A and B are shown apart, each in its own frame.
Chain A
Amino acid sequence: MFNKFTRNILLTPFLIWAGLFIFVPLIFIVWYGVTDYDGNFSLGNIGLIFERGYLDALKLSVELALISTVACLLLAYPLCLILTERQRDNTTIISLLFILPLWMNSLLSTMAWQTILEHNGIINQFMKLLDLPTFHMINTEGAIVLGMVYNFLPYMVLPLFISLSKIDRSILEAAQDLGANSWQKFFRVILPLTLPGAISGITMVFIPALTTFVISALLGGGKLLLIGNIIEQEFTFQYDWHVGCALSVILMIFIILNMLLTTAFDPMKEAGDEH
């Protein structure tokens, strides 16, 4: 479409942006991470991750992010399957329903969950009203997972919905025609054809879930620390940029690993393409 020269000119603003605001800060983070206060090279900050508190936070972060991602996947598939069945009638309303939660500030919606789950929150007050036993919900791992699923589900639903609606109806009819029942149709045809969508969904849920500190701070009550909370503390309370950056670098390594792993499982480079 464009010749090489105009293409380069058009690319320049982005390249400048990327260099100044992505690449340079990244170098700073890595540089802070591998130096000490005196500016000498040191792996001591990175090595801190093997100390108990940090390692536990990292383990808990990976664990909860994984659970949330799986939960999103399990919720999104049936939802998208039902929606694509009905898609023909009202696609716009459905897309709006997916995107609407994204318009709401995630901090606000997480605080709303706080008031719902609190000891004297909406659920427990309702239980008391009926003279039923109350639950301990806030400040648990379950509450954090709930917050993550609530906030990140749209990021799973969208790519999955798109890749599902790309599958021609006659492909599904062909599977049924050849004897497949609904489960066989799902596992042998729908799942493999929507894998690219699922993989981008997994990435889009897993990474924010792994790095979040707002959800864990509000729904974990400062008792359950995720790696995101620790990094935040290093910067805002300890003023130790070196440790904070070192932990960020480690987190980045995990994210890159996740992306490498998911692309390795991707059987096709193009999503659900039939031709």
Chain B
Amino acid sequence: MKRELIHLENIAKSFGNLLVLDEIDLSIYESEFITLLGPSGCGKTTMLRIIGGFEMPDTGRVIFDGKDITNLPPNRRPINTVFQKYSLFSHMNVEENISFGPKIAGKSADYIRDKVKYALKLVNLEGYEKHDVTRLSGGQQQRIAIARAVVNEPKVLLLDEPLSALDLKLRRNMRRELVRINKETGITFIFVTHDQEEALSMSDRVVVMNQGYIQQVGTPENVYNEPENAFVADFIGDSNIIDGVMVRDKVVRIFGREYPCVDSGFPEECPVDVQIRPEDIKLAAPLEGAFNGVVTRVVFWGMSYDINVEADGFEWLVQSTTGRTVGEKVSLHVAPENIQIMSKPQSEDEEVAKDN
């Protein structure tokens, strides 16, 4: 495993009576691209601000490279931030914006000139030194904000929903750019987003958060394919989540029928959440599959169809590349390895997944 760079140790934070973070324990490794993913109000931005030094945790510590930096102000942390609103200095041109950090660090004029050039090249805006930042497009401003942060050679770059203000095409482009900059510079990226597609496509690891708690930490494949609870399954991608009972190892009961699966380690007769991805369900002729039902709705998305099938009183979502017609009788088939068993949360908010 890579070297641990940041360790968040049992962090909690409240604003007034509102608990925004609790029991946060997380290791962040050198050079990785880690994404904090969750709905708005889940505490992801507060967590980022605690790492940046803009907020103080109520309890817990922030360990950076073995040293406790919990009480260090932002200007003394080897960490830089790309803000959501870019936050460029409007009274300075591109070059002055980028050289702000190195100038304060007391670097020589030659060094600064070379570094500004390098940073602009890194974000594909060579020759923009003298441009007025207020005249640049949103995408260009965002690149300058990245260059202004990266030029300081920080160990860690914090990115607070940096793509949310860009249009779709630009956003896709910037995703690739950010991954490239991460690999090229070796800087650890901590990226905050509510967009699961962004999180899955860019990150080495994803931290799924909800209501101030970490729900699951893992690789994109990991959190998508093996969500640890119903929140993660529901938040990332589309899911059919069904109440089930674990009969014994590798056998689950859904809608009164025993069904083979690949999970084990649950107590016998333990109630569980069963997750099945819509793209993992195969439609077959009636009686061929495990569940029989009727097509109730069909939506064409270009690449595929979203098909709703009512079976056993449950509305299944199925994704298929071939269309069906409403009212058609079908059956559903799911391979055992595509059935994901998750333990039920103790209470809705307080389910805290373990770091894996």
Interface of A with B (CB < 8 Å)?
Answer: 168, 170-171, 173-181, 184, 188-189, 192-193, 267-268, 272-275
Contact = CB atoms under 8 A, between A and B. Distances in A.
A275 B134 CA distance: 5
A173 B54 CA distance: 8
B73 A174 contact: no
Interface stretch (B84-92, B258-266, B274-282, B293-301): B84-92
B152 interface: yes
Contact of A179 (B54, B75, B87): B75
Given A176-B74, A179-B101, A273 B90 contact: yes
Given A176-B74, A268-B91, 17 more contacts: A173-B83, A173-B87, A174-B83, A174-B88, A177-B75, A178-B80, A178-B100, A178-B152, A179-B75, A179-B152, A180-B104, A188-B104, A189-B89, A193-B89, A272-B90, A273-B134, A275-B90
The bracket for how many chain B residues form the interface is: 20 to 34
A272 B134 CA distance: 12
Given A179-B152, A180-B104, A188-B100, A174 B75 contact: no
Interface of B: 52, 54, 73-76, 79-81, 83-85, 87-91, 100-101, 104-105, 134, 148-149, 152
A177 B52 contact: yes
A267 B91 contact: yes
Nearest to A189: B89
28 contacts: A168-B85, A170-B84, A170-B85, A171-B89, A173-B74, A173-B81, A173-B83, A174-B83, A174-B87, A174-B89, A175-B100, A176-B74, A177-B52, A177-B75, A177-B79, A177-B80, A177-B149, A178-B100, A178-B101, A178-B149, A180-B100, A180-B104, A184-B104, A188-B100, A188-B104, A192-B91, A193-B91, A273-B134
Interface centre among B80, B84, B85, B148 (most CB of A within 10 A): B85
A254 B147 CA distance: 47
Nearest to A169: B87
Contact of A171 (B52, B73, B87): B87
Contacts of A273: 90, 134
B81 A179 contact: no
A274 B62 CA distance: 33
B83 A176 contact: no
Contacts of A193: 89-91
Nearest to B81: A177
B83 A180 contact: no
A176 B75 contact: yes
Contacts of A170: 83-85, 87
A174 B79 CA distance: 12
A149 B75 CA distance: 36
Contacts of B81: 173-174, 177
A189 to B, nearest CB: 6
Contact of B75 (A181, A188, A275): A181
B189 to A, nearest CB: 15
A180 to B, nearest CB: 5
Nearest to B78: A179
Given A170-B83, A173-B74, A274-B134, A178 B91 contact: no
Contacts of A268: 91
A187 to B, nearest CB: 11
Given A273-B134, A274-B134, A180 B87 contact: no
B167 to A, nearest CB: 17
B104 A179 contact: yes
B137 to A, nearest CB: 12
B85 A178 contact: no
Nearest to B90: A274
Contacts of B105: 179
Contacts of B75: 176-181
Nearest to B91: A192
Nearest to A267: B91
A225 to B, nearest CB: 42
Contacts of B134: 273-275
- Select the residue from B88, B90, B148 with max chain A CB neighbours within 10 A: B90
User: Could you say which of A168, A178, A180, A193 has the most chain B C-beta atoms within 10 Å of its C-beta?
Assistant: A178
Given A170-B83, A273-B134, A275-B134, A177 B74 contact: yes
Nearest to A173: B54
A178 B87 contact: no
A178 B104 contact: yes
B74 A168 contact: no
B50 to A, nearest CB: 13
- Across chains A and B, which 7 residue pairs bring their CB atoms closest together, nearest first? A178-B101, A174-B87, A170-B87, A179-B104, A192-B91, A177-B81, A176-B74
Nearest to B49: A173
Contacts of B85: 168, 170
A177 B104 CA distance: 11
A218 to B, nearest CB: 42
A178 B105 CA distance: 9
A188 B99 CA distance: 12
